[in-house]
Structure 1
Amino acid sequence: MSLPREQLKRTLSGRKRFDRLSYLVFLSCTSVGIVVLCTLLIDVLINGIGWLNWDFLTNYPSRRPANAGIKSAFFGTIWMITLTAPIAFVLGVGTAIYLEEYAKKNWFTRFIQVNISNLAGVPSIVFGILGLTLFVRGMGLGRSILAGAFTMALLILPIIVVASQEALKSIPQELRHASYALGGTKWQTIRRIVLPAALPGILTGNILALSRAIGETAPLIMIGALTFVAFTPSSPLDQFTVMPIQIFNWISRPQEDFQYVAAAGIIVLLAMLLTMNALAIYLRNKFQHKF
């Protein structure tokens, strides 16, 4: 039996009020984060834009704020990302392909999947301890860029595996079946059909994971990355520093001018992060396939 007209109107009116209230609550929560982010960005820009010049980009760190630069940290970060990216990409995408295309769906596969998901939530300092034990001391790499790259690759590996798995899952099974029907082997199907179609999601996940690696400090401090480097690394076995560590070093200095130098370093780091995120969006749109 249908509700009376007046009671139905009251019910609909109550639902609309609840919807509007929910909308305002969620909008307020989002606005708080946006306001805080904008406040931080404005503060950084005001403090650092006046110190951002060519000398800042080409000078090495100095005990005098006026002469301090980010050159060694910038090139250390470039070295770090250049080595971390292929290591993490090969291991992460290879793991995702195995789990999605080859592994049987049994308890062992579920065990691996659960542990990969759990690793994504492990504090980064734990990966630093692992890197110190395994790469710095166990493999004898010392406090080198290569040891840092291996450590950061382990840190972002769970993110890349999960993102790559989701990209592979999004490819319709009909494409695989069509390839098999034409006589393609499993590897030919994966290499020529599945991977090209899943490439936008895979690349996006990798670039976003590398964006996280750029901003990490704790693991690199654990493996012995230096806080003051007055040279540019020339090989993967050289000692190094990265921009987050250099910024942390400046902020910890008692001189007030170093706060502005640190703000300029934050602007450079943000510019690099935004460039990588823009690249991820471009690649996703360029290679996007609609099924």
Structure 2
Amino acid sequence: MMPPVAELAGLVVALLATGVVAGLLAGVFGIGGGAVIVPVLYQFLLLLGIDHDLVMQIAVGSSLGVIVPTSIRSFLAHRAHGAVDEALLKEWLLPVPLGAIAAGFLIAIISGEALRIVFVVLATLMALRLLFGRQSWRLGADLPGRTVRVVVGFLIGLFSTLMGVGGGVFNNAFMTLYGRSMHQAVATSAGVGVLIAIPGVLGTIWAGWGRAGLPPLSLGFVNLLAVLLLIPVTMAMAPIGARLAHRTSRRRLEIGFGLFLLVVALRFLVSLV
């Protein structure tokens, strides 16, 4: 049974508000906002009575659908500042999408519960990095050799797609731990989001194609209604976030985002009990 009109209206407002936050995060952190979108869509779909075994997959796929235009716009905004490491992006043109494609195969075969466990583990690691990481931490003065970079690119594509995120936090950590500036890491992460989201969307469409129990207006695990509601707002807010990233102190934003991720991880953990 569908929720009352008032409840649906409230959910639409919540989704639009989420788009504002997700778009700002896309610009500020160089991410696609998926860490915000996935848990909200998860709740949205549960309230609509969607099959519990499919909710997480649909949230992840739909989040990736939103990240495609958001990441592109965020990347173009950051590129205008000249901070993008285009050499690294070119090197990752193959390994990052391959990781995203591999994640699509996994999403097709693992349960929604397993996908939530992945989200809990990775979100917790992301939160701890944001809350307790220090910009002074270094593993090296420059990025490691090509083999390591290729493996890292593949893993960023894999884990980010499984979470329905653009890979910004993972890439930011990698680049800054190896001596790159936060501004360059953020700008480059927006480009990484493009490399993840496009094959990730195609993979999740394939993974969910023909599944019974999908909500109306779905292409596989990508729900077009959720995507269409969120895209305009996130695209409008991403350039604003990009401008803030170049003139705003980041520490409070990192702490707030880290705490949010911990709350989300706890919520998913409770749902597994």
Shorter-chain TM-score above 0.5: no
Larger Rg: 1
Please report the TM-score for the alignment, with normalisation by the length of structure 1: 0.33
TM-score, scaled to structure 2: 0.34
Higher relative contact order (CA 8 A, sep 6+): 2
